[in-house]
Structure 1
Amino acid sequence: MNISTDRWTPWLLSLLRIIAALLFWEHGLMKLFHFPAAQPQAPDPLSLMLLVAAVMETVLGFLLVIGLFTRASAFMCSGLMAFAYFIAHAPRSFWPALNGGDDAVLFCFIFLFLAAAGGGILSVDSVLAKRRGSMTNFR
């Protein structure tokens, strides 16, 4: 039996977007609303830089969860994670496993991929593209 991966690609792309976005969104919610708990080691009150990052994580994370403005949102999230890595993690050590930056690196490159690939079939972008008769943002 030959299973074509092309058939599953848009669905798996959506699954990657949704799971990564939920994890990312959680960081913003933890900083802003202490939900599901307070962000470990985050100062209270947040500095202006952390407040801006938390708002971006919350708003852009939600947009990515539903798949609205996926490419632009993912591109901004990728940049935010690159900035976070070089500001907060890289000064501690060269190695991400030692500087606590594994998450930032993975988020950065997952979001960069999503900025190029789009949100997949289970996204608001896909629904809007179908309504416009264009399938370019679908995949």
Structure 2
Amino acid sequence: MQVQASGSQRTNTALWPWGLTLLRVVVGLAFFMHGYQKLFQMGVGGVGGFFGSLGVPAPGLAAIVVSLVELVGGLALIVGLLTRVFGVLLAVDMLVALLLVHRPNGFFAGDGGIELVLVLGAAALSLALTGPGALALDNQLPIERRFAGRDRSALAAGRG
């Protein structure tokens, strides 16, 4: 299907699911690796100590929650399971990281700034809004098929 965009630009929507799949898998891998790093390299105690130094309430519990959200959420994105749910959770995770950790350091990731968490958070939220794309376990779930049907209907009507 082709959709008329602004002006004379046309977009082939047949490739959209594959673009989303690429985004989902790469972003999922990044989150999975960060969760793995927190759990198995830094350790929950190290992450909790860091969170405590930032004034995060219940830093030990927060360390476990954040580490598991990133590890499990990353894996879920890779396989495309509960993509919209984990997209929201990971976007919130990145928003909190942006506000509590990275904001004082400016923009660039090399300086500990917001660049990476901003991109990862926006990508996670984008996946929550658009769905998983192709080759996703979500595509076998009835609720995702209802979402996808509505998305395609809106797109065909020129509202998407």
TM-score (norm 2): 0.69
- Unmatched runs of 5 consecutive residues or more in structure 2: 1-9, 49-59, 152-160
User: Given the alignment of the two structures, is residue 10 of structure 1 paired with residue 10 of structure 2, yes or no?
Assistant: no
Equivalent residue, structure 1, for 2:46? 45
- Unmatched runs of 5 consecutive residues or more in structure 1: none
User: Given the alignment of the two structures, is residue 115 of structure 1 paired with residue 128 of structure 2, yes or no?
Assistant: yes
Identity level (%): 27
Provide Cα deviations, 1:12-71, integer angstroms capped at 9, x if missing partner.
11111011111111000111123xxxx5xx885330133321111011111111111110
Alignment RMSD: 2.5
Equivalent residue, structure 2, for 1:127? 140
Check 1:134–1:99 CA distance in 2 against 1; reply closer, same or farther (3 A cut): closer
Structure 2: distance between partners of 1:79 and 1:11: 25
Check 1:135–1:30 CA distance in 2 against 1; reply closer, same or farther (3 A cut): same
Pick from 70, 87, 93 the counterpart of residue 74 of structure 1.
87
Q: How many angstroms does 1:106 deviate by?
A: 0.5
Which has the higher Rg, Structure 1 or Structure 2? 2
